[in-house]
Chains A and B, each alone.
Chain A
């Protein structure tokens, strides 16, 4: 999951970026609106976190500009002034959610998860594809009700694939959205993760949840069961 973080206050930006990376997000941090708009247009993000009070270009203008540039990913705005006037204006201009400063990082993570999920068409916090269920809140995965032990990178890869269940996800996409820019893209780490995931989710080889589309990427093959069965 690749996140754009635009925040001018360095301590907050660095702590947030570090925390998000620790939770398995790929983070591009910008310190002002202009850097934000440059990155926001160039990189295929899954979500943007934008502070409203930014130097050079206000957060409100940045949100507007990103939407005008055709970027569809969810945007979460951070505001120090919790007035409804600010919230309404931000949401009107294309933001999807807001968080009033100061906030708990857990709250931010929960909002990020909910926004990303909603953006990929999942309305419930538990992504269910047949026997495989991924709880985005608890960040756990169960197969036939049994908990599967995954590393955080493995979890992120699976989450990304399941969020886009049924869709083709290219290797480049997956790499871009999961790892930082400095990651060595030529290595076969991704193949290793996919292999491990397949073994952990489907030790008997009966479900075949992740199929390889030769030369193009991967697809989570089990259809969504987006019912009220939680």
Chain B
């Protein structure tokens, strides 16, 4: 595996100079800004609409009240002569009634076609106004007229004369919409200005908040860059609670990756060193005089075989992952069956009977390849040395302190077994592959390396049932 690929991908800033940049999902800040922007716009828009509607209603009722007051003022200003004749008012409640075209008009209608108009209304067409029966009042608007859109209030009364005679009068006071709308417009303008200011302030505030709450993420990214540059070993700042789960796991990844790289480096160094010896031997054999070709040939072949084994051993050692942290549970049973079927095929001539005793809960937390190498090498050893019987046992090892149960795996055969005084020699872990005990193949060395990588234990003793060798592996899953 390439060392780079094991690291989490680089911070987004580092990938922008890619020739064909992959379509990147929106940044968190942009998402929050867009969402908040829409919500804010909708909210402020609604607020503006509601407020301006409310203001319009209030202005309308204020208008009605004002027109009503003006109408009542005119009515009180009207007098009735002794002969029951209406006398026009001598003053107006608002100077605008006297200014032609002011937009504020008053019309009075009496009995027998009596009609009075305020100076502002002279010459205007108010034919649509009709007298109202006494006691009736009406607020109407907006009405399309020649003067524009109007709101008017008309009030019908009966005035008593001295002779107890009643004279009917209808006063209508009208105002053009312009005035109302002008007021409204000014209000709306102001509202818009203030709401916009508020919106901008909220967006700025929200942006600052977002920046503040995303700071830890940026911190993680910059720490990650420092780790990549080799300026730091881990993500070692303090992070908020929500991120610690992530950062701790990243740290574990970094550790694993570092461990793996260390293993590769060691394997490479071991390989190079261990190949030097056979190469030196070959060289001396070729160069030394007085050696006949046949023994030279066999000497070189010996060294080639040794180099073969060294390469095979170191290769499999480098492939051992020993990683448990994110490993899924590999069930033992299926893989054991595959292995045994394969071995039975290969060792068909021996007629070996392989029995299983596999706990269905027994699982191995690690790389599947490591499990296969572990069981494969132990089983092959057993098939090789067995008379006719091999037993594979896999059990769960319950653990009270850890959340994952451990594993006990043993392979025994009815072969000659290993004498007690030889066991230590067999298990002697060569510091380097070329120092291991000859004659046991590289299988056992690989098994020991895997067991070591998973911090397990390998025990060799005599099979209580079969009398041959028994190899047992215990792994505590962390």
List A residues at the B interface (Cβ < 8 Å): 81-85, 87-88, 91-92, 96-98, 100, 102, 104, 114, 118, 123-124
Residues of B within 8 A of A84 (CB): 339, 369, 372-373, 375-377
Interface residues of chain B: helix, strand, loop or mixed (majority): helix
Cα distance A98–B369 in the bound complex, in angstroms: 18
Query: Closest chain B residue to A81 by CB distance?
Result: B315
Kindly count the residue-residue contacts between A and B in the assembled complex, taking CB atoms under 8 Å apart: 48
How long is the Cα–Cα vector from A88 to B348 in the complex, in angstroms? 15
Q: Are B349 and A114 in contact (CB under 8 A)?
A: yes
Cβ-defined contact, B345 with A96, below 8 A:
yes
Contact across chains for B338 and A83 when beta carbons are under 8 A apart: no
**Do A97 and B312 have beta carbons less than 8 Å apart?**
no
Shortest Cβ distance from residue A129 to the other chain B in the assembled complex, whole angstroms = 19
* Cβ contact of A83, chosen from B308, B319, B339, B345, cutoff 8 A: B319
With both beta carbons as reference points, the residue of chain A lying nearest to B313 in the complex is identified as A82
Q: A82-B315, A88-B339 are in contact. List 11 more A-B contacts (CB 8 A).
A: A82-B312, A83-B319, A84-B375, A88-B338, A88-B376, A92-B342, A96-B346, A97-B346, A104-B305, A114-B349, A123-B348
The contact size tier of chain B is 20 to 34
B303 at interface by CB-CB < 8 Å: no
A110 to chain B, nearest CB (A): 11
* Residue in contact with A102 in the complex, picked from B308, B373, B377, CB distance below 8 Å: B308
Report chain A residues within 8 Å CB of B341. Answer: 91-92
Which residues of chain B have C-beta atoms less than 8 A from A118's C-beta?
Answer: 348-349
Contact residue among A85, A97, A114 (Cβ-Cβ distance under 8 Å from B372)? A85
Q: List B residues 155-214 near A (Cβ within 8 Å).
A: none
**Chain B residues numbered 354-385 whose CB sits less than 8 Å from any CB in chain A:** 368-369, 372-373, 375-377
Q: Which residue of A lies closest to B380 (CB)?
A: A84
Interface assignment of B316: CB less than 8 Å from any CB of chain A:
yes
Nearest A residue to B308, CB-CB: A102
- Nearest CB in chain B: distance from A48 CB, A: 15
Residues of A within 8 A of B345 (CB): 91, 96-97
Which among A81, A84, A92, A124 has the greatest number of chain B C-beta atoms within 10 A? A84
How far apart are the CA atoms of A92 and B345 in the complex, in Å?
Answer: 10
How distant is the Cα of A98 from the Cα of B380 in the complex, in angstroms? 13
Residues in A with CB closer than 8 Å to B368 are 85
A87-B376, A91-B342 are contacts. A82–B316 as well, Cβ < 8 Å? yes
CB-CB < 8 A to A83: which residues of B?
316, 319, 369, 372-373
- In the assembled complex, the Cα of A82 lies from the Cα of B349 at a distance in Å of 22
Question: Which residues of the partner chain A approach B349 to less than 8 Å between Cβ atoms?
Answer: 114, 118, 123-124
Name the interface residues of B308-351: CB closer than 8 Å to any CB of A: 308, 312, 315-316, 319, 338-339, 341-342, 345-346, 348-349, 351
